[in-house]
């Protein structure tokens, strides 16, 4: 357990975080590459899951996404890239292809659901939030959480692409779990100690028959740096 306050760019608050720390504008050189990429995908379509950034001339985008990754791993841990010109792309398949290639420059895409989906649509399908229903299928507000926290190996990074603004609500919020750790250390040390011990976390229906319905992991763990896995829906 970490018993000293965490310092550095990851332990931010709203008062200490500047917009320039988390927002990155896409430079014109990168936008030009995306336009050329869209033409190439239109001319020679490839299934999204087979697309590899190494197959395309995207030097400016690599520089951009390299900086994104640096801020994710060495900076505040959250970045807003402003913005992919989705209105200029030829429909949903091309948008997904461009998003896939750009995200692939940050890290390797991984499966998010039991049925093998890597790209998942966050939309209200009309179902109610309950055990076995993932939050991204509902209209229920989701307090700060760690995506896929019940997975045995949660992803290092998570990316979201907004295709259409919600009629109401839909705002995204971010929280530094390092700052949360600091508050707990200062005000609730004994509770923080408990969070370093395992909890049962519900797998939200993402398990095969005869598999356990829960996983058993702590909220905070050192691997070797501090990691957090918390979603209030999944801890009974």
Residue 4 has pLDDT above 90, yes or no: yes
pLDDT tens for each residue of 64-101: 999 999 999 999 999 999 999 999 998 999 999 999 99
E strand segments, the chain: 23-25, 80-82, 199-202, 214-217, 220-222, 226-228
Q: State how far the Cα of 127 lies from the Cα of 140, in Å rounded to an integer.
A: 10
Higher pLDDT, 130 or 52: 52
Q: Under a CB-based contact definition with an 8 Å cutoff, are residues 9 and 75 in contact?
A: yes
Give the per-residue pLDDT at 102. 97
Give the per-residue pLDDT at 215. 92
Give the per-residue pLDDT at 65. 98
Kindly state the average pLDDT of the residues 210-225: 93
Q: What is the DSSP string of the chain?
A: ---S---STTS--TTT--HHHHEEEPPHHHHHHHHHHHHHHHHS---GGG--GGGS--HHHHHHHHHHHHHHHHSSS--EEE---GGGSSHHHHHHHHHHHHHHTTS-----STT--SS------SPPP-TT--GGGS-----S--TTTTSSS--S------SS--SS--------HHHHHHHHHHH-HHHHHHHTS-EEEE-TT-S-TTS-SEEEE-SEEESSSEEE---TTT--
Could you tell me what percent of the chain has a pLDDT over 70? 99
Higher pLDDT, 80 or 142: 80
Give the per-residue pLDDT at 143. 84
Instruction: Name the residue ranges covered by the structural domains of the chain.
Output: 10-109, 122-157+169-236
Give the predicted TM-score (pTM) of the model: 0.90
Of 116, 80, 99, 74, nearest to 208 (Cα)?
A: 116
Could you tell me what percent of the chain has a pLDDT over 90? 69
């Amino acid at each position: 357990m970490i018993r000293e306050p965490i310092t550095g760019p990851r332990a931010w608050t709203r008062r200490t975080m500047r917009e320039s720390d988390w927002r990155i504008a896409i430079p014109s050189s990168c936008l030009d590459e995306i336009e050329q990429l869209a033409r190439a995908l239109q001319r020679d379509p490839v299934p999204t899951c087979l697309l590899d950034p190494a197959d395309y001339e995207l030097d400016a985008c690599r520089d951009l996404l390299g900086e994104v990754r640096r801020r994710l791993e060495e900076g505040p841990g959250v970045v807003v890239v402003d913005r992919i010109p989705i209105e200029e792309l030829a429909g949903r398949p091309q948008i997904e292809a461009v998003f896939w290639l750009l995200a692939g420059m940050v890290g390797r895409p991984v499966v998010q659901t039991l049925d093998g989906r890597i790209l998942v649509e966050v939309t209200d399908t009309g179902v109610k939030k309950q055990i076995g229903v993932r939050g991204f299928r509902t209209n229920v507000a989701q307090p700060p959480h760690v995506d896929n926290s019940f997975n045995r190996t949660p992803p290092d990074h998570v990316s979201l692409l907004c295709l259409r603004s919600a009629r109401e609500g839909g705002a995204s919020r971010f929280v530094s779990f390092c700052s949360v750790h600091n508050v707990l250390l200062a005000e609730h040390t004994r509770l923080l100690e408990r969070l370093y011990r395992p909890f049962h976390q519900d797998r939200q229906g993402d398990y095969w028959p005869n598999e356990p319905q829960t996983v058993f992991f702590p909220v905070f763990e050192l691997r070797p740096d501090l990691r957090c896995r918390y979603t209030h829906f999944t801890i009974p």
